[in-house]
Amino acid sequence: MKLACLSAVFALALFSSTAAFATSLPAGFTAVPLAAITNDRDTSVSNIELMLDGHAQVRGIYLETRDNKTSEPVLAKGQVYPLTGIESRDGVVLGQGQGVKAIFLRGEIEAQAGRGSLVIRYLTNGIFKHYSECRVNLERLGPDQWQLVNAYDGQPVEHIEVQTWALGISTLANVCPVNKA
């Protein structure tokens, strides 16, 4: 029974932080799509986007979540993550629930150089509070075009699938290296 309850807590923890904050993209900013994020627990779809100001400078990340692929965009919930938070020592919390911080994002984005290096840290075992992390790079393709790039194999990342297990997150498919047993 405890395991079933703990499993339910982690299902809620995955990306539920966006449900608590209904925020729209700030005026004067444009959003540049990076990747879609799904998970194996529900049908929600989150889109992670860079926030650019009027001078095409990166100012943060915008995460917009819909209940499913066919949900009305007007009903989407969004969250703004300023660049200063992402570049801080601990980064920002992208996913949490029931007091459990499940997914963190931190790193540096060099807008002038057109690149960035990000680390995604995720909860792999909630009982022992064990986290794992993966790196993902960011590259500018044009004045207002950017893409995520897998730091391990150099492939563009357009979709991230959060794969879970009873006690947390097992991997972030398309971002984390594949473990061969």
| pLDDT, tens digit, 9 for 90 and up, residues 5-14 | 344 334 434 4
Q: Which amino acid is at 131?
A: Y
CA distances from 117 to 74, 81, 86 (A): 31, 16, 11
Residue 74 pLDDT: 66
Residue 70 pLDDT: 75
Nearest to 109 by CA among 88, 83, 80: 83
In whole angstroms, give the CA distance from residue 159 to residue 38: 8
Residue 73 pLDDT: 67
The domain locations on the chain are 2-173
Q: What is the 3-state secondary structure (H, E, C) of 109-175?
A: EECCCCEEEEEEEEEEECCCCEEEEEEEEEEEEECCEEEEEECCCCCEECEEEEEEECCEEEEEECC
CA distances from 164 to 12, 19, 89, 107 (A): 12, 19, 26, 24
Q: Does the structure show a pLDDT above 70 at 181?
A: no
Residue 152 pLDDT: 97
Task: Report residue 140 as tokens.
Answer: 């500018």
Tens-place pLDDT, residues 23-52: 788 999 999 999 999 999 899 999 999 999
Residue 38 pLDDT: 95
Q: Does the structure show a pLDDT above 70 at 21?
A: no
Task: Report residue 96 as tokens.
Answer: 């949490």
Residue 168 pLDDT: 93
Tens-place pLDDT, residues 107-154: 999 988 899 999 999 999 999 999 999 999 999 999 889 999 999 999
Tens-place pLDDT, residues 71-109: 776 678 999 999 999 999 999 999 887 789 999 999 999
Residue 49 pLDDT: 97
* Residue pair 47/36 in contact by the 8 Å Cβ criterion: yes
Nearest to 134 by CA among 76, 178, 68, 84: 178
In whole angstroms, give the CA distance from residue 26 to residue 62: 10
Residue 96 pLDDT: 84
